[in-house]
Structure 1
Protein backbone atom coordinates (compact mmCIF):
# COMPACT_ATOMS: atom_id res chain seq x y z
CA UNK A 1 0.00 0.00 0.00
CA UNK A 2 2.90 2.36 0.75
CA UNK A 3 4.37 1.61 -2.69
CA UNK A 4 1.02 2.40 -4.35
CA UNK A 5 0.71 5.63 -2.36
CA UNK A 6 4.27 6.67 -3.25
CA UNK A 7 3.68 6.05 -6.99
CA UNK A 8 0.37 7.91 -6.94
CA UNK A 9 1.78 10.76 -4.85
CA UNK A 10 -0.76 10.46 -2.02
CA UNK A 11 -0.84 9.50 1.65
CA UNK A 12 -1.21 5.72 2.34
CA UNK A 13 -4.61 6.29 3.98
CA UNK A 14 -5.80 8.07 0.85
CA UNK A 15 -4.54 5.19 -1.27
CA UNK A 16 -6.36 2.71 0.97
CA UNK A 17 -9.66 4.61 0.76
CA UNK A 18 -9.28 5.03 -3.01
CA UNK A 19 -9.11 1.25 -3.42
CA UNK A 20 -12.28 0.65 -1.39
CA UNK A 21 -15.49 -0.52 -3.11
CA UNK A 22 -17.07 2.93 -2.63
CA UNK A 23 -14.45 5.63 -2.02
CA UNK A 24 -15.71 8.43 0.25
CA UNK A 25 -14.63 12.09 0.09
CA UNK A 26 -11.93 11.45 -2.50
CA UNK A 27 -11.93 13.05 -5.94
CA UNK A 28 -12.51 10.89 -8.99
CA UNK A 29 -9.13 11.97 -10.37
CA UNK A 30 -7.31 10.80 -7.23
CA UNK A 31 -9.17 7.48 -7.22
CA UNK A 32 -8.26 6.92 -10.87
CA UNK A 33 -4.57 7.78 -10.23
CA UNK A 34 -4.34 5.45 -7.22
CA UNK A 35 -6.03 2.56 -9.03
CA UNK A 36 -3.77 3.02 -12.04
CA UNK A 37 -0.75 2.85 -9.71
CA UNK A 38 -2.13 -0.32 -8.12
CA UNK A 39 -2.52 -1.91 -11.56
CA UNK A 40 0.99 -0.91 -12.59
CA UNK A 41 2.44 -2.47 -9.42
CA UNK A 42 0.25 -5.58 -9.56
CA UNK A 43 -1.26 -4.76 -6.16
CA UNK A 44 -4.26 -6.79 -4.98
CA UNK A 45 -6.11 -6.07 -1.71
CA UNK A 46 -5.84 -8.88 0.85
CA UNK A 47 -9.44 -10.00 1.34
CA UNK A 48 -8.63 -11.94 4.52
CA UNK A 49 -6.95 -8.94 6.09
CA UNK A 50 -9.84 -6.70 5.07
CA UNK A 51 -12.32 -9.14 6.63
CA UNK A 52 -10.40 -9.08 9.90
CA UNK A 53 -10.34 -5.28 9.87
CA UNK A 54 -14.00 -4.72 8.91
CA UNK A 55 -15.63 -7.84 10.38
CA UNK A 56 -17.15 -8.59 6.97
CA UNK A 57 -15.87 -10.94 4.27
CA UNK A 58 -18.22 -9.51 1.61
CA UNK A 59 -18.94 -13.15 0.74
CA UNK A 60 -22.32 -14.86 0.78
CA UNK A 61 -22.85 -18.62 0.45
CA UNK A 62 -25.50 -20.18 -1.76
CA UNK A 63 -26.46 -23.79 -1.03
CA UNK A 64 -28.30 -25.60 -3.84
CA UNK A 65 -29.00 -29.29 -4.33
CA UNK A 66 -27.35 -29.31 -7.78
CA UNK A 67 -26.21 -26.30 -9.78
CA UNK A 68 -26.64 -28.42 -12.93
CA UNK A 69 -30.39 -28.02 -12.35
CA UNK A 70 -31.36 -25.44 -14.98
CA UNK A 71 -33.91 -23.72 -12.74
CA UNK A 72 -31.39 -23.35 -9.91
CA UNK A 73 -28.63 -22.09 -12.20
CA UNK A 74 -30.91 -19.28 -13.38
CA UNK A 75 -31.84 -18.44 -9.79
CA UNK A 76 -28.15 -18.40 -8.86
CA UNK A 77 -27.41 -16.03 -11.76
CA UNK A 78 -29.91 -13.59 -10.21
CA UNK A 79 -28.23 -13.94 -6.80
CA UNK A 80 -24.78 -13.40 -8.31
CA UNK A 81 -25.85 -10.29 -10.24
CA UNK A 82 -27.48 -8.73 -7.17
CA UNK A 83 -24.51 -9.68 -4.97
CA UNK A 84 -22.05 -8.06 -7.39
CA UNK A 85 -24.13 -4.89 -7.54
CA UNK A 86 -24.02 -4.72 -3.73
CA UNK A 87 -20.26 -5.26 -3.57
CA UNK A 88 -20.44 -8.93 -2.53
CA UNK A 89 -19.23 -12.15 -4.09
CA UNK A 90 -21.34 -15.33 -4.12
CA UNK A 91 -19.88 -18.76 -3.38
CA UNK A 92 -22.04 -21.74 -4.41
CA UNK A 93 -22.06 -25.25 -2.92
CA UNK A 94 -23.99 -28.38 -3.92
CA UNK A 95 -25.87 -30.16 -1.13
CA UNK A 96 -26.91 -33.05 -3.41
CA UNK A 97 -30.17 -33.45 -1.43
CA UNK A 98 -28.13 -35.39 1.13
CA UNK A 99 -28.33 -34.24 4.79
CA UNK A 100 -24.73 -35.21 5.60
CA UNK A 101 -23.32 -33.53 2.48
CA UNK A 102 -25.48 -30.47 3.11
CA UNK A 103 -24.05 -29.95 6.60
CA UNK A 104 -20.49 -30.54 5.35
CA UNK A 105 -20.94 -27.87 2.67
CA UNK A 106 -22.40 -25.44 5.21
CA UNK A 107 -19.35 -26.04 7.41
CA UNK A 108 -17.08 -25.26 4.45
CA UNK A 109 -18.98 -22.03 3.75
CA UNK A 110 -18.85 -20.96 7.39
CA UNK A 111 -15.11 -21.65 7.45
CA UNK A 112 -14.71 -19.01 4.74
CA UNK A 113 -16.24 -16.40 7.03
CA UNK A 114 -19.31 -15.80 4.89
CA UNK A 115 -21.64 -12.98 5.92
CA UNK A 116 -24.83 -14.94 5.20
CA UNK A 117 -26.41 -17.87 3.35
CA UNK A 118 -29.07 -18.26 0.68
CA UNK A 119 -30.48 -21.72 1.25
CA UNK A 120 -32.03 -23.31 -1.85
CA UNK A 121 -31.63 -26.91 -0.69
CA UNK A 122 -34.15 -27.05 2.16
CA UNK A 123 -36.10 -30.18 3.13
CA UNK A 124 -38.60 -30.94 5.86
CA UNK A 125 -36.33 -33.64 7.30
CA UNK A 126 -33.24 -31.43 7.58
CA UNK A 127 -31.98 -28.99 10.22
CA UNK A 128 -29.63 -26.68 8.29
CA UNK A 129 -31.95 -23.67 8.65
CA UNK A 130 -32.37 -24.27 12.38
CA UNK A 131 -28.60 -24.62 12.75
CA UNK A 132 -27.93 -21.33 10.97
CA UNK A 133 -30.56 -19.68 13.19
CA UNK A 134 -28.90 -21.09 16.30
CA UNK A 135 -25.47 -19.89 15.18
CA UNK A 136 -26.77 -16.41 14.43
CA UNK A 137 -25.79 -16.60 10.75
CA UNK A 138 -28.11 -14.47 8.56
CA UNK A 139 -29.93 -16.59 5.96
CA UNK A 140 -32.97 -16.71 3.71
CA UNK A 141 -34.51 -19.55 1.71
CA UNK A 142 -34.93 -19.36 -2.05
CA UNK A 143 -37.22 -21.45 -4.30
CA UNK A 144 -38.01 -23.90 -1.48
CA UNK A 145 -39.78 -22.90 1.73
CA UNK A 146 -39.94 -24.08 5.35
CA UNK A 147 -42.53 -23.03 7.93
CA UNK A 148 -41.25 -20.21 10.13
CA UNK A 149 -38.29 -19.27 7.91
CA UNK A 150 -38.08 -16.24 5.60
CA UNK A 151 -38.08 -17.21 1.93
CA UNK A 152 -38.50 -16.05 -1.66
CA UNK A 153 -40.37 -18.54 -3.83
CA UNK A 154 -43.08 -18.93 -6.41
CA UNK A 155 -46.63 -19.53 -5.22
CA UNK A 156 -46.29 -23.22 -6.00
CA UNK A 157 -49.76 -24.24 -4.79
CA UNK A 158 -51.26 -21.78 -7.24
CA UNK A 159 -48.85 -22.98 -9.93
CA UNK A 160 -50.13 -26.53 -9.50
CA UNK A 161 -53.69 -25.24 -9.75
CA UNK A 162 -52.87 -23.41 -12.99
CA UNK A 163 -51.56 -26.63 -14.53
CA UNK A 164 -54.68 -28.54 -13.47
CA UNK A 165 -57.13 -25.89 -14.66
CA UNK A 166 -55.44 -25.82 -18.05
CA UNK A 167 -55.84 -29.58 -18.45
CA UNK A 168 -59.42 -29.52 -17.16
CA UNK A 169 -60.32 -26.78 -19.64
CA UNK A 170 -58.95 -28.99 -22.43
CA UNK A 171 -61.29 -31.78 -21.31
CA UNK A 172 -58.94 -34.10 -19.47
CA UNK A 173 -60.67 -36.28 -16.87
CA UNK A 174 -57.77 -38.47 -15.72
CA UNK A 175 -54.31 -37.20 -14.79
CA UNK A 176 -51.16 -38.40 -13.05
CA UNK A 177 -48.37 -36.53 -11.27
CA UNK A 178 -44.60 -36.96 -11.38
CA UNK A 179 -44.44 -35.40 -7.93
CA UNK A 180 -40.73 -34.88 -7.31
CA UNK A 181 -39.71 -35.12 -3.65
CA UNK A 182 -42.53 -35.01 -1.10
CA UNK A 183 -40.12 -33.68 1.56
CA UNK A 184 -39.52 -30.48 -0.41
CA UNK A 185 -42.00 -27.62 -0.65
CA UNK A 186 -41.68 -27.54 -4.44
CA UNK A 187 -42.73 -31.17 -4.77
CA UNK A 188 -45.33 -31.05 -2.04
CA UNK A 189 -47.03 -27.72 -2.86
CA UNK A 190 -47.14 -28.09 -6.65
CA UNK A 191 -48.64 -31.55 -6.29
CA UNK A 192 -51.13 -30.38 -3.66
CA UNK A 193 -52.38 -27.51 -5.81
CA UNK A 194 -52.78 -29.76 -8.83
CA UNK A 195 -54.66 -32.49 -6.96
CA UNK A 196 -56.89 -29.97 -5.20
CA UNK A 197 -58.02 -28.42 -8.48
CA UNK A 198 -58.91 -31.85 -9.88
CA UNK A 199 -60.72 -32.75 -6.65
CA UNK A 200 -62.66 -29.46 -6.79
CA UNK A 201 -63.79 -30.46 -10.31
CA UNK A 202 -65.10 -33.77 -8.93
CA UNK A 203 -62.18 -35.74 -10.38
CA UNK A 204 -59.91 -36.69 -7.45
CA UNK A 205 -56.57 -38.20 -8.45
CA UNK A 206 -55.92 -41.61 -6.79
CA UNK A 207 -52.67 -41.98 -4.86
CA UNK A 208 -51.46 -44.67 -7.27
CA UNK A 209 -51.26 -41.99 -9.99
CA UNK A 210 -48.84 -39.88 -7.90
CA UNK A 211 -45.17 -40.93 -8.23
CA UNK A 212 -42.75 -39.26 -5.79
CA UNK A 213 -39.43 -40.41 -7.24
CA UNK A 214 -37.39 -37.18 -6.96
CA UNK A 215 -36.34 -34.46 -9.38
CA UNK A 216 -34.44 -34.67 -12.65
CA UNK A 217 -34.46 -36.70 -15.85
CA UNK A 218 -33.71 -40.11 -14.31
CA UNK A 219 -36.27 -39.58 -11.54
CA UNK A 220 -38.84 -38.45 -14.11
CA UNK A 221 -38.27 -41.59 -16.15
CA UNK A 222 -38.90 -43.73 -13.05
CA UNK A 223 -42.06 -41.75 -12.31
CA UNK A 224 -43.24 -42.20 -15.90
CA UNK A 225 -42.66 -45.95 -15.69
CA UNK A 226 -44.71 -46.19 -12.50
CA UNK A 227 -47.52 -44.14 -14.01
CA UNK A 228 -47.57 -46.27 -17.18
CA UNK A 229 -48.14 -49.41 -15.09
CA UNK A 230 -51.41 -48.04 -13.76
CA UNK A 231 -54.73 -48.58 -15.44
CA UNK A 232 -56.59 -47.06 -17.03
CA UNK A 233 -53.85 -44.93 -18.58
CA UNK A 234 -54.24 -41.23 -17.72
CA UNK A 235 -54.73 -38.81 -20.59
CA UNK A 236 -52.46 -36.19 -18.97
CA UNK A 237 -49.40 -35.97 -16.71
CA UNK A 238 -48.16 -33.09 -14.59
CA UNK A 239 -44.42 -33.10 -13.79
CA UNK A 240 -43.46 -30.71 -10.99
CA UNK A 241 -40.17 -29.81 -12.70
CA UNK A 242 -39.23 -29.44 -16.38
CA UNK A 243 -36.25 -31.82 -16.26
CA UNK A 244 -38.47 -34.35 -14.51
CA UNK A 245 -40.91 -33.85 -17.40
CA UNK A 246 -38.14 -34.74 -19.88
CA UNK A 247 -37.69 -38.09 -18.12
CA UNK A 248 -41.46 -38.66 -18.21
CA UNK A 249 -41.39 -38.10 -21.98
CA UNK A 250 -38.85 -40.91 -22.34
CA UNK A 251 -40.90 -43.34 -20.23
CA UNK A 252 -44.09 -42.55 -22.13
CA UNK A 253 -42.23 -43.06 -25.41
CA UNK A 254 -40.98 -46.45 -24.24
CA UNK A 255 -44.57 -47.36 -23.37
CA UNK A 256 -45.71 -46.51 -26.90
CA UNK A 257 -47.30 -43.16 -26.08
CA UNK A 258 -46.51 -39.81 -27.68
CA UNK A 259 -46.57 -36.53 -25.77
CA UNK A 260 -48.60 -33.92 -27.60
CA UNK A 261 -50.52 -36.56 -29.56
CA UNK A 262 -52.19 -39.12 -27.29
CA UNK A 263 -51.08 -37.82 -23.88
CA UNK A 264 -50.72 -34.27 -22.57
CA UNK A 265 -47.80 -33.19 -20.40
CA UNK A 266 -47.26 -30.07 -18.26
CA UNK A 267 -43.93 -29.17 -16.66
CA UNK A 268 -42.89 -26.51 -14.16
CA UNK A 269 -40.35 -23.64 -14.11
CA UNK A 270 -40.35 -23.00 -17.89
CA UNK A 271 -36.59 -23.38 -18.30
CA UNK A 272 -35.20 -22.34 -21.68
CA UNK A 273 -35.11 -25.98 -22.80
CA UNK A 274 -38.90 -26.33 -22.52
CA UNK A 275 -39.72 -24.34 -25.64
CA UNK A 276 -37.00 -26.07 -27.71
CA UNK A 277 -38.00 -29.71 -27.21
CA UNK A 278 -39.21 -31.62 -30.31
CA UNK A 279 -42.70 -31.22 -28.85
CA UNK A 280 -42.54 -27.86 -27.04
CA UNK A 281 -43.46 -28.31 -23.39
CA UNK A 282 -46.34 -26.51 -21.70
CA UNK A 283 -44.90 -25.29 -18.42
CA UNK A 284 -45.69 -23.14 -15.39
CA UNK A 285 -43.24 -20.25 -15.42
CA UNK A 286 -41.51 -19.04 -12.27
CA UNK A 287 -39.27 -15.98 -12.43
CA UNK A 288 -36.09 -17.56 -11.06
CA UNK A 289 -33.81 -14.62 -11.91
CA UNK A 290 -36.05 -12.24 -9.96
CA UNK A 291 -36.26 -14.83 -7.19
CA UNK A 292 -32.47 -14.82 -6.85
CA UNK A 293 -32.25 -11.02 -6.86
CA UNK A 294 -34.96 -10.69 -4.21
CA UNK A 295 -33.36 -13.39 -2.07
CA UNK A 296 -30.09 -11.44 -2.11
CA UNK A 297 -31.88 -8.25 -1.11
CA UNK A 298 -33.63 -10.02 1.75
CA UNK A 299 -30.31 -11.46 2.89
CA UNK A 300 -28.72 -8.00 2.87
CA UNK A 301 -31.62 -6.79 5.01
CA UNK A 302 -31.04 -9.62 7.47
CA UNK A 303 -27.30 -8.91 7.56
CA UNK A 304 -28.19 -5.31 8.43
CA UNK A 305 -30.44 -6.55 11.24
CA UNK A 306 -33.72 -5.64 9.60
CA UNK A 307 -36.77 -7.94 9.79
CA UNK A 308 -37.68 -9.57 6.46
CA UNK A 309 -40.99 -10.97 5.21
CA UNK A 310 -41.38 -14.02 2.99
CA UNK A 311 -42.19 -13.24 -0.64
CA UNK A 312 -44.32 -15.29 -3.06
CA UNK A 313 -43.91 -14.57 -6.78
CA UNK A 314 -46.88 -15.21 -9.10
CA UNK A 315 -46.70 -18.24 -11.44
CA UNK A 316 -47.72 -18.05 -15.10
CA UNK A 317 -48.87 -20.94 -17.30
CA UNK A 318 -47.22 -21.01 -20.75
CA UNK A 319 -49.23 -23.35 -23.04
CA UNK A 320 -47.44 -25.16 -25.86
CA UNK A 321 -47.86 -28.19 -28.12
CA UNK A 322 -47.37 -30.80 -25.38
CA UNK A 323 -50.94 -30.08 -24.23
CA UNK A 324 -52.50 -28.11 -27.05
CA UNK A 325 -51.95 -30.91 -29.57
CA UNK A 326 -52.99 -33.88 -27.42
CA UNK A 327 -56.33 -35.53 -28.08
CA UNK A 328 -58.67 -36.49 -25.24
CA UNK A 329 -60.70 -39.55 -26.37
CA UNK A 330 -64.34 -39.25 -25.38
CA UNK A 331 -63.73 -36.23 -23.19
CA UNK A 332 -65.97 -33.25 -22.72
CA UNK A 333 -65.02 -30.12 -20.81
CA UNK A 334 -66.15 -30.16 -17.17
CA UNK A 335 -69.14 -28.02 -16.23
Structure 2
Protein backbone atom coordinates (compact mmCIF):
# COMPACT_ATOMS: atom_id res chain seq x y z
CA UNK A 1 0.00 0.00 0.00
CA UNK A 2 1.55 3.29 -1.08
CA UNK A 3 1.84 6.01 1.53
CA UNK A 4 -0.28 9.10 1.16
CA UNK A 5 2.81 11.33 1.13
CA UNK A 6 4.42 9.43 -1.76
CA UNK A 7 1.26 9.71 -3.84
CA UNK A 8 0.90 13.40 -3.01
CA UNK A 9 4.52 14.09 -4.00
CA UNK A 10 3.99 12.28 -7.29
CA UNK A 11 0.77 14.13 -8.16
CA UNK A 12 2.10 17.58 -7.26
CA UNK A 13 5.37 16.96 -9.15
CA UNK A 14 3.40 15.86 -12.20
CA UNK A 15 1.21 18.98 -12.05
CA UNK A 16 4.10 21.46 -11.92
CA UNK A 17 6.83 19.47 -13.71
CA UNK A 18 9.40 20.03 -10.99
CA UNK A 19 10.44 18.43 -7.70
CA UNK A 20 11.58 21.84 -6.44
CA UNK A 21 8.26 23.57 -7.14
CA UNK A 22 6.29 20.62 -5.75
CA UNK A 23 8.45 20.78 -2.62
CA UNK A 24 7.71 24.49 -2.21
CA UNK A 25 3.97 23.89 -2.41
CA UNK A 26 4.14 20.92 -0.03
CA UNK A 27 6.51 22.65 2.45
CA UNK A 28 9.09 19.89 1.97
CA UNK A 29 12.64 19.80 0.62
CA UNK A 30 13.22 18.85 -3.04
CA UNK A 31 15.27 15.89 -1.82
CA UNK A 32 12.36 14.61 0.26
CA UNK A 33 9.97 14.90 -2.68
CA UNK A 34 12.42 13.13 -4.98
CA UNK A 35 12.92 10.29 -2.47
CA UNK A 36 9.18 9.84 -2.03
CA UNK A 37 8.65 9.61 -5.79
CA UNK A 38 11.62 7.22 -6.17
CA UNK A 39 10.19 5.03 -3.41
CA UNK A 40 6.83 4.98 -5.19
CA UNK A 41 8.49 4.00 -8.48
CA UNK A 42 10.44 1.23 -6.75
CA UNK A 43 7.33 -0.19 -5.10
CA UNK A 44 5.34 -0.05 -8.35
CA UNK A 45 8.19 -1.41 -10.43
CA UNK A 46 7.77 1.23 -13.16
CA UNK A 47 9.35 4.56 -14.01
CA UNK A 48 6.82 7.37 -13.66
CA UNK A 49 9.02 10.30 -14.79
CA UNK A 50 11.65 10.96 -17.37
CA UNK A 51 14.10 13.23 -15.53
CA UNK A 52 16.20 15.97 -17.11
CA UNK A 53 18.08 18.96 -15.75
CA UNK A 54 15.29 21.25 -16.91
CA UNK A 55 12.00 19.47 -16.36
CA UNK A 56 10.22 16.34 -15.32
CA UNK A 57 8.18 14.58 -18.00
CA UNK A 58 5.67 11.84 -17.30
CA UNK A 59 6.26 8.48 -18.93
CA UNK A 60 3.35 6.71 -20.55
CA UNK A 61 2.91 4.66 -17.38
CA UNK A 62 3.14 7.85 -15.32
CA UNK A 63 0.41 9.53 -17.37
CA UNK A 64 -1.87 6.55 -16.94
CA UNK A 65 -1.18 6.33 -13.20
CA UNK A 66 -1.78 10.07 -12.72
CA UNK A 67 -5.18 9.80 -14.39
CA UNK A 68 -6.13 6.99 -12.03
CA UNK A 69 -4.96 8.45 -8.71
CA UNK A 70 -5.25 12.26 -8.96
CA UNK A 71 -9.00 12.38 -8.38
CA UNK A 72 -8.87 9.87 -5.57
CA UNK A 73 -6.09 11.81 -3.84
CA UNK A 74 -8.16 14.98 -3.96
CA UNK A 75 -11.16 13.11 -2.53
CA UNK A 76 -9.07 11.87 0.38
CA UNK A 77 -7.67 15.36 1.02
CA UNK A 78 -11.15 16.88 1.08
CA UNK A 79 -12.45 14.13 3.35
CA UNK A 80 -9.58 14.71 5.78
CA UNK A 81 -10.16 18.47 5.68
CA UNK A 82 -13.83 18.01 6.49
CA UNK A 83 -13.03 15.72 9.42
CA UNK A 84 -10.42 18.09 10.82
CA UNK A 85 -12.81 20.44 12.55
CA UNK A 86 -12.88 22.28 15.82
CA UNK A 87 -16.07 21.45 17.69
CA UNK A 88 -17.85 20.74 14.43
CA UNK A 89 -16.80 24.05 12.85
CA UNK A 90 -14.90 24.38 9.55
CA UNK A 91 -11.20 24.80 10.18
CA UNK A 92 -7.89 25.18 8.39
CA UNK A 93 -6.02 27.68 6.24
CA UNK A 94 -8.23 29.31 3.61
CA UNK A 95 -6.13 30.31 0.59
CA UNK A 96 -8.00 32.77 -1.63
CA UNK A 97 -6.91 34.96 -4.56
CA UNK A 98 -8.71 38.20 -5.36
CA UNK A 99 -8.17 41.48 -7.17
CA UNK A 100 -6.25 44.03 -5.10
CA UNK A 101 -8.73 46.92 -4.97
CA UNK A 102 -11.90 44.84 -5.27
CA UNK A 103 -10.73 42.67 -2.39
CA UNK A 104 -9.83 45.64 -0.22
CA UNK A 105 -13.11 47.47 -0.88
CA UNK A 106 -15.63 44.63 -0.77
CA UNK A 107 -14.14 41.40 0.65
CA UNK A 108 -11.81 42.53 3.46
CA UNK A 109 -14.68 44.43 5.18
CA UNK A 110 -16.46 41.07 5.52
CA UNK A 111 -13.51 39.51 7.32
CA UNK A 112 -14.50 40.39 10.88
CA UNK A 113 -17.95 38.83 10.67
CA UNK A 114 -16.59 35.82 8.79
CA UNK A 115 -14.01 35.09 11.51
CA UNK A 116 -16.59 35.64 14.23
CA UNK A 117 -18.73 33.00 12.60
CA UNK A 118 -15.83 30.66 11.74
CA UNK A 119 -13.06 31.29 14.30
CA UNK A 120 -11.13 28.10 13.41
CA UNK A 121 -10.47 29.25 9.82
CA UNK A 122 -7.18 31.04 9.16
CA UNK A 123 -7.35 33.33 6.07
CA UNK A 124 -4.41 33.29 3.66
CA UNK A 125 -5.57 35.88 1.15
CA UNK A 126 -3.55 36.85 -1.91
CA UNK A 127 -4.24 40.17 -3.65
CA UNK A 128 -3.35 40.05 -7.33
CA UNK A 129 -5.06 41.30 -10.48
CA UNK A 130 -3.82 38.35 -12.54
CA UNK A 131 -5.56 35.03 -12.97
CA UNK A 132 -4.13 32.21 -10.87
CA UNK A 133 -4.00 28.47 -11.46
CA UNK A 134 -6.61 27.63 -8.86
CA UNK A 135 -5.86 23.91 -8.55
CA UNK A 136 -2.20 23.88 -9.54
CA UNK A 137 -1.28 26.65 -7.08
CA UNK A 138 -3.34 25.20 -4.27
CA UNK A 139 -5.96 27.94 -3.90
CA UNK A 140 -9.23 27.09 -2.21
CA UNK A 141 -11.08 29.85 -4.08
CA UNK A 142 -10.57 32.92 -6.23
CA UNK A 143 -12.62 36.03 -6.96
CA UNK A 144 -12.36 37.88 -10.24
CA UNK A 145 -13.64 38.41 -13.74
CA UNK A 146 -12.73 37.03 -17.13
CA UNK A 147 -11.20 33.81 -15.81
CA UNK A 148 -10.66 30.90 -18.14
CA UNK A 149 -12.66 28.04 -16.66
CA UNK A 150 -10.43 24.94 -16.66
CA UNK A 151 -11.79 21.46 -16.15
CA UNK A 152 -12.72 20.82 -12.54
CA UNK A 153 -13.37 24.49 -11.65
CA UNK A 154 -16.81 26.05 -11.25
CA UNK A 155 -17.87 29.71 -11.13
CA UNK A 156 -20.61 31.29 -9.01
CA UNK A 157 -21.67 34.72 -10.26
CA UNK A 158 -21.36 37.55 -7.76
CA UNK A 159 -22.15 40.58 -9.91
CA UNK A 160 -22.05 41.84 -13.49
CA UNK A 161 -18.62 43.11 -14.58
CA UNK A 162 -19.71 46.41 -16.07
CA UNK A 163 -17.43 49.31 -16.99
CA UNK A 164 -18.67 52.87 -17.13
CA UNK A 165 -17.47 56.29 -18.29
CA UNK A 166 -16.83 58.82 -15.52
CA UNK A 167 -15.41 62.34 -15.24
CA UNK A 168 -15.04 65.09 -12.67
CA UNK A 169 -17.94 67.59 -12.51
CA UNK A 170 -15.51 70.41 -13.37
CA UNK A 171 -14.43 68.55 -16.52
CA UNK A 172 -18.05 68.18 -17.62
CA UNK A 173 -18.67 71.91 -17.08
CA UNK A 174 -15.70 72.84 -19.29
CA UNK A 175 -16.99 70.93 -22.31
CA UNK A 176 -20.00 70.87 -24.55
CA UNK A 177 -22.86 68.60 -23.47
CA UNK A 178 -22.14 64.89 -24.02
CA UNK A 179 -25.40 63.40 -25.23
CA UNK A 180 -24.37 60.49 -27.46
CA UNK A 181 -21.30 58.25 -27.96
CA UNK A 182 -20.15 60.28 -30.97
CA UNK A 183 -19.64 63.31 -28.69
CA UNK A 184 -16.72 61.50 -27.00
CA UNK A 185 -14.41 61.82 -30.00
CA UNK A 186 -13.22 65.31 -29.09
CA UNK A 187 -12.54 64.47 -25.41
CA UNK A 188 -9.43 63.25 -23.60
CA UNK A 189 -9.77 59.64 -22.54
CA UNK A 190 -8.24 57.71 -19.65
CA UNK A 191 -8.29 54.08 -20.71
CA UNK A 192 -7.31 50.81 -19.07
CA UNK A 193 -4.63 48.57 -20.55
CA UNK A 194 -4.41 44.89 -19.72
CA UNK A 195 -1.81 44.06 -17.05
CA UNK A 196 -1.20 40.79 -18.91
CA UNK A 197 -0.82 42.03 -22.51
CA UNK A 198 -0.20 45.73 -22.06
CA UNK A 199 -2.80 46.45 -24.74
CA UNK A 200 -5.82 48.74 -24.60
CA UNK A 201 -8.88 46.76 -25.53
CA UNK A 202 -11.37 48.17 -28.03
CA UNK A 203 -14.63 48.17 -26.07
CA UNK A 204 -18.12 48.49 -27.58
CA UNK A 205 -20.63 50.52 -25.59
CA UNK A 206 -24.05 48.99 -24.87
CA UNK A 207 -27.28 50.62 -23.72
CA UNK A 208 -30.40 49.27 -22.03
CA UNK A 209 -31.95 48.43 -25.39
CA UNK A 210 -28.84 46.34 -26.12
CA UNK A 211 -27.85 48.69 -28.93
CA UNK A 212 -24.11 48.98 -29.41
CA UNK A 213 -21.81 51.81 -30.41
CA UNK A 214 -18.02 51.91 -30.77
CA UNK A 215 -16.11 53.73 -28.05
CA UNK A 216 -14.21 56.42 -29.95
CA UNK A 217 -12.34 58.72 -27.60
CA UNK A 218 -8.97 60.42 -27.85
CA UNK A 219 -6.50 58.44 -25.72
CA UNK A 220 -4.82 60.96 -23.43
CA UNK A 221 -3.35 58.37 -21.05
CA UNK A 222 -3.58 54.70 -20.13
CA UNK A 223 -3.60 52.99 -16.74
CA UNK A 224 -3.45 49.36 -15.72
CA UNK A 225 -5.80 49.88 -12.77
CA UNK A 226 -9.33 51.29 -12.51
CA UNK A 227 -8.65 52.83 -9.11
CA UNK A 228 -5.75 54.84 -10.56
CA UNK A 229 -7.91 55.86 -13.52
CA UNK A 230 -10.61 57.12 -11.13
CA UNK A 231 -8.01 59.16 -9.23
CA UNK A 232 -6.78 60.69 -12.51
CA UNK A 233 -10.33 61.49 -13.64
CA UNK A 234 -11.02 63.06 -10.25
CA UNK A 235 -8.34 65.65 -11.10
CA UNK A 236 -10.28 66.67 -14.22
CA UNK A 237 -7.79 65.07 -16.62
CA UNK A 238 -10.31 63.33 -18.85
CA UNK A 239 -13.11 60.79 -19.20
CA UNK A 240 -12.16 57.43 -17.68
CA UNK A 241 -13.53 54.02 -18.56
CA UNK A 242 -13.47 52.11 -15.27
CA UNK A 243 -14.95 49.07 -13.58
CA UNK A 244 -18.22 49.87 -11.85
CA UNK A 245 -17.23 48.55 -8.37
CA UNK A 246 -14.21 50.89 -8.30
CA UNK A 247 -16.26 53.88 -9.46
CA UNK A 248 -19.02 53.49 -6.84
CA UNK A 249 -17.17 55.22 -3.93
CA UNK A 250 -16.34 58.20 -6.18
CA UNK A 251 -19.90 58.40 -7.49
CA UNK A 252 -21.32 58.27 -3.96
CA UNK A 253 -18.94 61.05 -2.90
CA UNK A 254 -19.95 63.06 -6.01
CA UNK A 255 -16.27 63.57 -6.91
CA UNK A 256 -17.02 61.79 -10.19
CA UNK A 257 -20.19 61.63 -12.27
CA UNK A 258 -21.22 59.24 -15.00
CA UNK A 259 -20.74 60.29 -18.59
CA UNK A 260 -23.43 58.93 -20.95
CA UNK A 261 -25.23 57.20 -18.06
CA UNK A 262 -27.39 55.18 -20.44
CA UNK A 263 -24.29 53.51 -21.88
CA UNK A 264 -21.82 51.02 -20.40
CA UNK A 265 -19.42 48.22 -21.33
CA UNK A 266 -20.51 44.65 -20.56
CA UNK A 267 -17.43 42.64 -19.59
CA UNK A 268 -19.15 39.48 -18.35
CA UNK A 269 -19.28 38.73 -14.63
CA UNK A 270 -17.26 38.93 -11.46
CA UNK A 271 -17.44 35.42 -10.01
CA UNK A 272 -16.31 33.20 -7.18
CA UNK A 273 -14.23 30.27 -8.47
CA UNK A 274 -13.51 27.02 -6.66
CA UNK A 275 -12.81 23.38 -7.42
CA UNK A 276 -15.82 21.31 -8.35
CA UNK A 277 -16.06 18.41 -5.95
CA UNK A 278 -18.78 16.63 -4.05
CA UNK A 279 -16.57 16.66 -0.93
CA UNK A 280 -15.75 20.36 -0.97
CA UNK A 281 -13.78 21.24 2.20
CA UNK A 282 -15.90 22.77 4.92
CA UNK A 283 -13.73 25.92 5.03
CA UNK A 284 -14.25 26.50 1.28
CA UNK A 285 -17.96 25.84 1.43
CA UNK A 286 -18.27 28.21 4.37
CA UNK A 287 -16.43 30.97 2.50
CA UNK A 288 -18.41 30.53 -0.73
CA UNK A 289 -21.76 30.53 1.06
CA UNK A 290 -20.80 33.49 3.25
CA UNK A 291 -19.66 35.71 0.36
CA UNK A 292 -22.77 34.90 -1.69
CA UNK A 293 -24.94 35.63 1.35
CA UNK A 294 -23.25 38.98 2.02
CA UNK A 295 -23.41 40.14 -1.60
CA UNK A 296 -27.13 39.38 -1.63
CA UNK A 297 -27.76 41.03 1.76
CA UNK A 298 -25.91 44.22 0.75
CA UNK A 299 -27.43 44.35 -2.73
CA UNK A 300 -23.98 44.63 -4.30
CA UNK A 301 -24.96 42.88 -7.53
CA UNK A 302 -27.62 45.54 -8.12
CA UNK A 303 -25.28 48.36 -7.06
CA UNK A 304 -22.67 47.23 -9.59
CA UNK A 305 -25.17 46.81 -12.43
CA UNK A 306 -24.57 49.82 -14.67
CA UNK A 307 -27.85 49.28 -16.48
CA UNK A 308 -29.76 49.86 -13.21
CA UNK A 309 -27.67 52.62 -11.62
CA UNK A 310 -27.43 55.67 -13.82
Give the shorter-chain TM-score range.
Answer: 0.3 to 0.5
Q: Is the helix fraction higher in 1 or 2?
A: 1
Q: Is the strand fraction higher in 1 or 2?
A: 2
